[in-house]
Amino acid sequence: MRYNRLGSTGLYVSELCLGTMTFGGKGFFEYMGGVGQQDVDALVRTAFDAGVNFIDTANVYSEGLSEEMTGRAIRNLGLRREDVVLATKVFGTMGAGPNDRGASRHHIMDQVKASLKRLGTDHIDLYQIHGWDAATPIEETLRALDDLVRQGHVRYIGVSNWQAWQIAKALGISAR
């Protein structure tokens, strides 16, 4: 397996990343099929035996069940946490309330705590915003992410499903 630096960081991740969107198969993700815990353990073991050290999940995958199953697999297999690069994402709807989605400080702070608990870890290696939130000022989102890094809950931040102009805007604001 080859490993590359994650962006401009000193963190090395495998060229292949194990995606977990089908772990659990609950809610919206039920139509994709559901991979049970025994198979999740086998998939994670096979990936790690092949040199994959990078696992990607999201709070919305199977309504959080994917994160739970991923964390459980790491523990079931006795993998050292420091050998695993865990990525998860925040943005999608996680409840019925008006603040249960998006990239507001409120939602990010609530969801990072929930993701840490579901994953059974004290930190997330890569925490990504899973979509552009036109209703929340980008400054609010970036401050929340910066606070999570400073608090040690998150080591690196990123985005998913953003357009180039959105990334450029966030980078410009971050440079200030």
Q: Give me the active site residues, please.
A: 61
Rounded Cα distance between 126 and 131, Å, is 15
Written as one letter, the residue type at 47 is A
**Helix/strand/coil for 74:** helix
The two three-digit tokens of residue 64, written as one number: 């959080």
What are the strands, taking DSSP E only, across 12-170?
12-14, 17-19, 54-56, 85-90, 124-129, 154-159
35 forms bridges with which residues in the sheet?
Answer: 23
